[in-house]
Amino acid sequence: MIGGVFPSLCSGPLAGDPERMRGVTPPLGGTRMSRLSRVKIDEEVVKEERKMKEIFKNKTVLVTGGTGSFGQKFAEVALKRYKPKKLIVFSRDEMKQFEMRRKFSSANIRYFIGDVRDPDRLNRALHDVDYIVHAAALKIVPSAEYNPFEVVKTNIIGAENVINTAIDNGIKKVIALSTDKAANPVNLYGATKLCAEKMFIAANNYSPYGTKFSVVRYGNVLGSRGSVVPFFKECRKKGKIPITDKRMTRFWVSLDAGVDFVISCIGEMKGGEVFVPKLPSMKIVDLARAIAPGCKIEVVGVRPGEKMHETLITKDDFRCTVEKRDRYITCPEVVFRRKKRVISGKLLDDSFEGYTSDKNDKWLTVAELKKLIR
């Protein structure tokens, strides 16, 4: 196992199950693992846990979009569990930085007001930085459809600025956050994130100082800004919950689990990978019933740029994707100048139909959703 151990990607009946968490499940064919195999796996788990605890030791980490939902949770987890030498929060919102200063009292955190659209400011912020977590983006789908040029400036030009300044400053690792909307995109937001993904992967080809770039792609984040949860809670007061379509499904991940997954990928990345966690799916109508069980559900139709179901890995990606216990890793098809990589896991074959939210084998029930949103 390479990526370390982190909490379940969503709470539910399997959360906390030591057999599932340690990867001790019967292999294909039904034969149970030997006692020796279990001991070996336990030793590997302990080794990886120790390695992960020191992932940010004596390292300076910068988070773009650091005052957003992900950035704040990342700061909380990193400062509490991983003790970086310095954590730099890079964002353009001075009020959120002010509020964040009051929330975090650590002497190891710094705040930079800046925008990823401004390469000069990025360049100044990246002095002596080891790792970058790129979380800055414009993400609201309807807003992106009506303000395409602004979204391109942040999500694509901003990504280019992060790449160029990272290379110029000799950053060791850069990991960029992406979205399920980047797989077979039908909206501008997804298209810009797909473009950014391609840029980060290709950046490995022209980094003279060995900067490594990888991507994490996952689904909707429970509790994040812009989530449908607070919107449904507000609508609950009026007794009516508007949903786009009762058949609509989405992947779902908790904020804590999303942060843990990203940190594990920083430890595992060799450059060029797209990491995809195995996530549960949910029906939008079930989420509405979990939040407002006594309210009327009104179907209002699909919004511009919305999909009925989301995709994390397309069918065509099977040629270069491996499956592991808790994740998929899509490897780059382009050839890098670095030595040949070795990634453990099961290589997918042409029977793979894609990883989509409507054909998932893990589903959140209404009861489980109620527990998650409390």
Instruction: Tell me if residue 8 falls in helix, strand or coil.
Output: coil
φ, ψ for residue 203, nearest 5 deg: -60, -25
Closest CA to 321 of 308, 311, 332: 332
Residues 6+ apart with CB under 8 A from 143: 151
Whether 277 contacts 317, CB under 8 Å: no
Phi and psi based region of residue 301 (left: phi greater than 0; alpha: psi -120 to 50; beta: remaining): left
Query: What single string gives the DSSP state of each residue in 316-361?
Result: GGGGGEEE-SSEEEEPPSSPPSSPPP---SEEP-TT---EEGGG-S
Other CB atoms within 10 Å distance of the CB of residue 20 = 14
Neighbour count for residue 351 (Cβ, 10 Å):
7
Of 73, 86, 181, 324, catalytic = 181
Query: Is 181 one of the catalytic residues?
Result: yes
Sign of CA dihedral 276, 278, 283, 287: negative
CA atoms within 13 A on the CB side of 167: 14
Number of Cα atoms under 13 Å in the Cβ half of residue 3: 28
Contact 279, 10 (CB under 8 A): yes
Q: Is the CB of residue 197 less than 8 Å from the CB of residue 182?
A: yes
CA 203 – CA 186 distance, rounded (Å): 25
- Beta strand 131-134 with 60-64: parallel, antiparallel or unpaired? parallel
Please give the Cα distance from 218 to 313 (Å, whole number): 10
Q: Which residues contact 121 (CB under 8 A, 6 or more apart)?
A: 112, 114, 115
- Return the active site residues: 181
